[in-house]
Structure 1
Amino acid sequence: MRLPVFALIAALAAAPALAAPCGGGFNDFIRAMKAEAVAKGQPQADVDAFFANVKQDSRVIKADRSQGVFRKTFIDFSRSLISQNRISNGAANSRKFDSTFKRAEREFGVSRGILLAFWAFETDFGAVQGDFNTVNALVTLGHDCRRPELFQPQVHAAIELFRQGMIDPARTTGAWAGEIGMVQMLPADILARGVDGDGDGKVSLKTSAPDALLSGARMLQHHGWRAGEPWLQEVVLPANLDWSKTGLDTTLSTNDWAKMGVQAREGGLPRGLPASVLLPQGRKGPAFLAYPNYKVLFEWNKSFVYVTTAAYFGTRLEGASAYDAGNPDEALSESQMKSLQQKLAARGHDVGAIDGILGALSRAAVQKEQVRLGLPADAWPTRELLNAL
C-alpha cells in the first residue's frame, strides 16, 4: 500500500543514509534502490517505470569533480557574475513579478533582493536551467561514493515527484547535481516545500516564476530566515580594529561593533542585531557585517564565495552601491593554497579537503595561525603566512 506523501517524507528522513551500496556494480545498485523504494511504500509499477531507462552520466561525475570556479577570490568571482545586464534584468523582473515578491515577504518574510540574486545566478532568471537528465544525475551521484548520503534520499524524493506527475524521468532536465527549475531546488525540497504560486493546481518550478520564487522563499524560511532583517551590509572599519574578532566564528551586537568604530558605508547600522565582520579578502579589501540571515544562505549553496556574492548582489538589487574593493593583498595561487592547507592540517587544523579553495574551515585555521604568529588576524592567507609556516 502506498504511503501518503507526508508519511513518505518522514520515511525518507528516517531512512538509513546508505541503504543501497555505493560504488559497486551499477545494475546491482539499481536493484537495491528499487527494492528500497518498494519497501518505503512505492508501487512496484511506478518504481519500474521510474528506473526503466536510467543511465550513468559520466558528465555528472566530471562536473562534480571540476568546481574550480570557487577558487576565485570574492572580487573576481563577483565581477564575473554581476553584470549591468543582470542588474537591469533584476530590476525588470522585480517590477514584472512585484505581486509575487510582495507575497514572498508577506507569507515567508523573505526580501525580494535575495530571491532575485539566486534566480539570476542559478539560471539567469530561468533562461539557463541545465541540460542534464535529472534522474540520471541523481542516480549517478547516489551510486558514486563521494556523497551518497545526500543523493540517495533525493532519488527516492524524485520517485514521489514522478508519481505525482511533477517530473518525467525521460525528459526532465536540470543542473548536474539534480536540482530542478528556475531557482534550482532538489527533489526533497520541492516535495516538502514546493508552492503553487500561480494557482494552477501544480508546482512547476521549470515554467512558473511565481511557483519557483515562492518555493525558494518557503525553503529559506524553513531554514531559519528571519523576517524583516538584513543579511549583509557593507561597512567601514577603523584601522585599529582587533582583527581576531572578525570572521563568522565571532558574533557581537551591532551596538558593540559601533562602539569599536565600525560604521555603515551607507545609512546606519540596525540597532541590537547580532552580526559578524566579514572580510572576504582580508582587512585591505571589502568589508561587510554578516547578519543571521547570511548564514541561512549556506543551506542553498555551501560555497563561501558564491554565498557572499549572492548576498552582496541581493543588496545591490535593493539599492546598495557597488562595494569598495580596496587594495587587498594578492591571493595565493592554487598550488600555494594547497600547500598552505597541507601545512595547516599538519598543525592539527581541520581544513576539510586539500583542494586549493579558501572555504570556511581554511579561513578559521588561517586566522588561528595568524594569531599565534602575531600577524594581523583577518583570515586572509598571504605569502607571509605561508612562508612563516
Structure 2
Amino acid sequence: MFDAPAPSLMFRSLAAASALTLLSSCADAPAQKAASAPQPPVSQPASSPVATSAQSAQAPMVMPAVSFSAWRDAFRREALSSGIDPNTFDRAFAGITPDPSVISADRSQPEFTRPVWEYLEGAISPYRVRKGQALMIEHAATLDAIEQRFGVDREPLVAIWGMESSFGQFMGDKSVIRSLATLAYEGRRPAFAHAQLLAALQILQHGDIQPARMLGSWAGAMGQTQFIPTTYNSHAVDFDGDGRRNIWSSSADALASAAHYLQASGWRKGQPAALQVQLPQGFDYAQADADIRRPVAQWQALGVQTGTQAASLSGESASLLLPAGYRGPAFLVLDNFRAILKYNNSSSYALAVSLLGERFDGRGELTASWPRDERPLSRSERVELQESLTAAGYSPGAPDGIIGANTRKAIRGYQQRLGWPADGYPNLELLMQLREGR
C-alpha cells in the first residue's frame, strides 16, 4: 500500500523488529510476523497473499560454529542476570534443540505472490463472514464490555480474530521457546529473537502458560491474536478474571488484548478504516502516496467522490490507496487503517480487516472491479524492475524485491516520463518498457 521499507508494524519504530519480515513495511502482502504486532498465521493460505513455490529461493543453511549447548549456556547466564529464575529457564529449555524447519522458513523468499484481489477473496470468504457474524452474537456481552473499556469497535476486532487464527482454530503448533531459540542461535538476525525469547521466559515465569502449551508460529507469534512475546507483555490482558492472560484458550483475553493494542495504536471508535471512493477523469494518480494526507473535505474538493459514509468525516486526515494501481478500486484510508497497519504492516491485510468487518454488517462490497488481466510480478521480476530503474537514473533503493516507498517513487518518476498514469504500481507492462530501454 503505502510503502517504506518493511513488515506490521506492520516496522516503523519497530525497525529492529522487522528482522523477521520478508516483505516491505506497508508492503502489499502481510508480513511473516511483525516485530511487535500480530500477523496472519502461515497455516492459513487463504489469509496470506504469499503463495508458496517449489522454486522458493533459500539461503544456504550454515549453522554457527559454536554448539547449541554452548550458546544455550551463555544465553542462560544472560537470562538469569536479567531476572529469569533458573528453574523457569531449565523447564523451558528441557529437551530443546534447533528446529531446521524454522531456519528454512526464516530464510525462504517466495518467488510468487497472489494478486491482492485473490488475497481479499480468501480473507473475506463467505465462511469467514458467516462464522464472524455468529461469533459476534455468541460473544456479544464480552464484546460490549471490550468496547466500553477500550473504545475499539467489535467488527474490526472480530475481523482481526478471523484473519489471525481463523477465530482460534489455527494458532500454530510449534514450541515458541524452540522457535525463538533457533532463530536466536542460528545468528543471521539474532537481536529480535533474543528479545522475544527473554520476553517469552518472562511470560512463563509470570505463570500465564506452561512451556508445553506455549505454542505458536515458526516466528514466535502466539495465540488467537498471534501476539509475539514483547507485545504480549505490553498489551495482553486478563479480561475473563481468572488471574491469567490466556490468549491461547480464552477468547475474551485474546479479543481484549487485541483491543488494548489497537487502543494504544490510536483507534478511534465509530470511524471507518477505509472508504471506497471514485476518482474523477484526469485525476493525478501520483496523489496515491501514504505520505500525502489531507482532510477528507480536501479530497472531495479535488473531485474524489466519497459517498454518504463520509458525511461526518470532512475534517479527518486521509490518504489515497490504490491497491492494484489506477485500474482497480480506490480507497481513502484514515486513522483506524493506520492503527491496523501497526498490528500488521500490510495494506492488503489492513484492507481485508476493514472490508471483512464491514461485511459482518452487510456492507463492504466493492463497487469497482479489479484488473484481473494483470498478474503480480514475481520476486525476481521485482528485483529486475528495481535494477532497471536504477540503470534508468532513478533511485528505488536496494534491489531486494520489496516494493517500498523509494521504489514506488522511482516508478512514478518513470511513469511520468512515459506519460502514463503515475500511480507507482509495478506491473509487467512497466517492466517490459524498462527492458526495452525506453
TM-score with structure 2 setting the length: 0.77
**Residue 28 of structure 1, CA deviation:** 3.0
- Aligned residue runs from structure 1 range 1-389, under 5 A: 23-25=64-66, 26-66=68-108, 68=110, 71-265=113-307, 267-269=309-311, 270-328=313-371, 330-334=374-378, 335-346=380-391, 347=393, 349-351=395-397, 354-355=400-401, 358-359=403-404, 361-389=406-434
Which residue identity is paired with 2:352?
T
Which residue identity is paired with 1:86?
R
Deviations 1:143-171 (A, max 9, x none): 34444222211100111111122232234
Instruction: Pick closer, same or farther for the CA change 1:69–1:164 going to 2, 3 Å.
Output: farther
Which residue identity is paired with 1:301?
N
* Richer in helix (by share): 1
Write the distance in 2 (CA, Å) between the matches of 1:147 and 1:134: 17
**Residue 325 of structure 1, CA deviation:** 4.4
Unaligned runs of 5+ in 1: 1-12
**Residue 185 of structure 1, CA deviation:** 0.6
Write the distance in 2 (CA, Å) between the matches of 1:23 and 1:299: 33
8 A Cα contact 2:216 2:223, kept in partner: yes
8 A Cα contact 2:176 2:220, kept in partner: yes
Q: CA RMSD in A?
A: 2.7
Which of 326-335 and 244-253 deviates more?
326-335
Which of 266-275 and 122-131 deviates more?
266-275
Paired residue total = 371
Write the distance in 2 (CA, Å) between the matches of 1:303 and 1:90: 22
8 A Cα contact 1:74 1:309, kept in partner: no
Which residue identity is paired with 2:423?
D
8 A Cα contact 1:23 1:143, kept in partner: yes
Q: What residue number does 2:23 align with?
A: none
Write the distance in 2 (CA, Å) between the matches of 1:364 and 1:231: 25
8 A Cα contact 2:383 2:399, kept in partner: no
Q: What residue number does 1:7 align with?
A: none
Percent identity for Structure 1 against Structure 2: 35
8 A Cα contact 2:207 2:244, kept in partner: no
SS at match of 2:414: helix
8 A Cα contact 2:116 2:324, kept in partner: yes
SS at match of 2:211: coil
Task: Give the number of the structure with larger relative contact order, counting CA–CA contacts within 8 Å between residues 6 or more apart.
Answer: 2
8 A Cα contact 2:387 2:399, kept in partner: no
Instruction: Pick closer, same or farther for the CA change 1:53–1:170 going to 2, 3 Å.
Output: farther
Instruction: Pick closer, same or farther for the CA change 1:70–1:119 going to 2, 3 Å.
Output: farther
Instruction: Pick closer, same or farther for the CA change 1:367–1:300 going to 2, 3 Å.
Output: same
Which residue identity is paired with 1:330?
E
Write the distance in 2 (CA, Å) between the matches of 1:259 and 1:233: 16
TM-score with structure 1 setting the length: 0.87
8 A Cα contact 1:193 1:218, kept in partner: yes
**Residue 177 of structure 1, CA deviation:** 1.2
8 A Cα contact 2:294 2:319, kept in partner: yes
**Residue 232 of structure 1, CA deviation:** 1.1
Write the distance in 2 (CA, Å) between the matches of 1:234 and 1:174: 35
Deviations 1:211-249 (A, max 9, x none): 000001101222232344321111111122111111212
Unaligned runs of 5+ in 2: 1-13, 20-62
Write the distance in 2 (CA, Å) between the matches of 1:142 and 1:59: 14
Which of 34-43 and 57-66 deviates more?
57-66
